[in-house]
């Protein structure tokens, strides 16, 4: 089963585009929320999605940073999915954990997502 997850960071953003895309791609069950991606703590819909998936299911999101913006959190999510016999597909990025290349891309993009999140926090080059 394809299980979709959509997230926006603030309540003034809309989930419509992500939900439409996930539905179009064949997701039979959708979880969505408005919550910051800085941490997975407090993200009830994400936790429900991870609890819901069963062996053979695929968690689908539009972009990896919709899932999380921390490499550690993304790694934990990937481990949870792997432990349950599930895979991850990211529609707008070449991530599909059913392949070695997809797993490599997952790790590379996870690192960039964390880096991007850190930049607005007052980073100064020395």
Strands 29-34 and 58-61: unpaired
Strands 95-96 and 87-90: antiparallel
User: Is 34 a residue of the active site?
Assistant: no
Residue that is written with structure tokens 């707008």 in the block = 92
Q: Check 9, 32, 34, 82 and give the catalytic one.
A: 9
Torsion angles phi and psi, residue 5, rounded to 5: -135, 125
Which residues are registered as beta bridge partners of 87? Answer: 58
Catalytic residue annotation: 9
């Amino acid at each position: 089963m394809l299980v979709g997850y959509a997230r926006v960071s603030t309540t003034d953003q809309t989930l419509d585009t992500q939900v439409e895309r996930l539905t179009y791609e064949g997701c039979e069950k959708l979880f969505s929320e408005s919550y910051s991606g800085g941490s997975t703590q407090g993200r009830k819909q994400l936790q429900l999605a991870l609890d819901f998936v069963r062996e053979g299911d695929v968690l689908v999101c539009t972009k990896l940073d919709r899932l999380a913006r921390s490499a550690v959190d993304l790694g934990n999510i990937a481990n949870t999915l792997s432990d349950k016999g599930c895979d991850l597909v990211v529609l707008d990025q070449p991530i599909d954990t059913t392949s070695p290349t997809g797993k490599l891309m997952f790790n590379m993009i996870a690192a960039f997502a964390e880096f991007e999140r850190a930049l607005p926090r007052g980073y100064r080059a020395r």
